[in-house]
């Protein structure tokens, strides 16, 4: 019953937000990077910080502790800080220095939340800062067609829920279920040929932050890095696209349309919903392999990263040749 009430509340609050966004013109206008052609409401990802507040409320209602063993208020402060920053940045384009300061604060709180400062060697902390900020931005880069990040996040969260229930209990189950419910509600409005709303930075960075918190708890609990491969598909597209742009001597911080999903949607005119389903489906297949295989971690990484990287390169090369011939 609790989850049904939560879904109803999420629907209601998002509909209220749509009215506010419409009134104050919080919209996404197509640009040279866009894969859409119509003006659409943005900021629908506000549903994720709302889901966190509902999660905290549910814990209070049940009489559960929100500070032991995991300090959810520490996590929530980081999540809300980075979401507020992202929402403002969506509207007024903040300077990179301001973004970096807020990202640093939020990532510090995230690392404190997963006990990284207490359990990991000091030399690993700067590496983690770079990795986490990189993944947050990568998630944002990939949110470019209808349904892609909502569906992809749903797959990652469902995989984490399975691990939590069947392999190792690494967190409060509701801490996974609430963002999963939020992703489902968001997809009702976004997984359409003509989306009602987009996530905006608040959504893509917000859900990425939540997923990284969960992955951090899981990897520290199990001492296994293989669960980082739950982000293989997004990671492969981002890393190989950056390398391609560096090879072409392009500014990697400027807007572009070189991601594989953009080639599918823009050049091949493949349905956004099909592209999103392919990305999520491939990640689901990978996650099932990661969960099923009981092999040394280096072998799991090699068995997944190398074939997926090769598949990416072959697919991208094939599409480029087809597009070149048709011009």
Domain ranges of the chain: 2-326
Q: Which residue has the tokens 């990795």?
A: 131
SS3 content of the chain, % helix, strand, coil (to 5): 75, 0, 25
Is residue 39 over pLDDT 70?
Answer: yes
Which pLDDT band holds residue 236 (cuts at 50, 70, 90)?
very high
Region 205-223: mean pLDDT is 97
**DSSP letters of 220-240?**
HHHT-GGGGGGGHHHHHHHHH
Q: Tell me what pLDDT residue 35 has.
A: 57
Q: Which residue has the tokens 């000091």?
A: 122
Distance in angstroms (rounded) separating the CA atoms of residues 167 and 289: 14
pTM of this structure? 0.95
The mean-pLDDT minimum among 72-81, 161-170, 243-252, 306-315 falls in: 243-252
pLDDT in tens, 268-285: 999 999 999 999 999 999
Is residue 25 over pLDDT 90?
Answer: no
Region 24-35: mean pLDDT is 70
C-beta separation of 193 from 78 below 8 A: no
User: How distant, in Å, are the alpha carbons of 160, 170, 177, 287 from that of 167?
Assistant: 10, 9, 17, 14
Compare 25 and 86 and report the one with higher pLDDT. 86
Which pLDDT band holds residue 94 (cuts at 50, 70, 90)?
confident
Is residue 66 over pLDDT 90?
Answer: no
CA within 13 Å, CB half, 226: 22
**What is the residue-averaged pLDDT of the chain?**
93
The mean-pLDDT minimum among 135-144, 172-181, 244-253, 287-296 falls in: 244-253
Q: Tell me what pLDDT residue 68 has.
A: 66
Give the whole-number percent of the chain exceeding pLDDT 70: 95
Is residue 90 over pLDDT 70?
Answer: yes
Is residue 115 over pLDDT 70?
Answer: yes
H or E segment at 175? helix 174-190
Distance in angstroms (rounded) separating the CA atoms of residues 111 and 117: 7
């Amino acid at each position: 019953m609790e989850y049904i009430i939560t879904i109803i509340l999420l629907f209601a609050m998002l509909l209220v937000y749509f009215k506010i966004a419409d009134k104050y013109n919080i919209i996404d206008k197509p640009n040279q990077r866009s894969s859409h052609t119509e003006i659409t409401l943005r900021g629908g990802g506000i549903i994720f910080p709302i889901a966190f507040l509902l999660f905290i409320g549910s814990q209070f209602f049940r009489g559960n502790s929100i500070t032991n063993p995991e300090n959810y208020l520490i996590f929530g402060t980081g999540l809300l800080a980075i979401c507020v920053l992202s929402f403002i940045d969506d509207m007024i384009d903040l300077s990179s220095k301001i973004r970096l300061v807020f990202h640093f604060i939020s990532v510090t709180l995230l690392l404190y939340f997963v006990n990284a400062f207490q359990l990991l060697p000091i030399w690993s902390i700067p590496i983690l800062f770079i990795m986490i900020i990189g993944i947050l931005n990568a998630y944002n880069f990939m949110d470019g067609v209808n349904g892609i990040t909502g569906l992809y996040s749903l797959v990652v969260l469902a995989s984490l829920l399975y691990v939590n229930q069947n392999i190792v209990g690494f967190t409060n189950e509701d801490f996974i279920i609430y963002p999963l419910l939020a992703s489902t509600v968001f997809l009702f409005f976004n997984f359409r040929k003509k989306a009602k709303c987009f996530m905006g930075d608040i959504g893509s960075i917000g859900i990425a932050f939540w997923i990284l918190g969960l992955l951090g708890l899981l990897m520290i609990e199990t001492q296994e890095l293989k669960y980082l491969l739950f982000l293989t598909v997004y990671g492969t597209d981002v890393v190989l696209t950056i390398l391609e742009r560096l090879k072409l001597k392009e500014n990697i911080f400027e807007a572009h349309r070189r991601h594989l999903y953009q080639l599918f949607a823009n050049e091949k005119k493949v349905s956004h919903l099909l592209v999103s389903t392919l990305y999520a489906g491939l990640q689901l297949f990978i996650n099932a392999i990661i969960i099923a295989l009981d092999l040394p971690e280096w072998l799991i990484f090699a068995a997944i990263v190398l074939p997926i990287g090769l598949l990416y390169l072959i697919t991208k090369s094939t599409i480029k040749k087809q597009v070149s011939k048709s011009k």
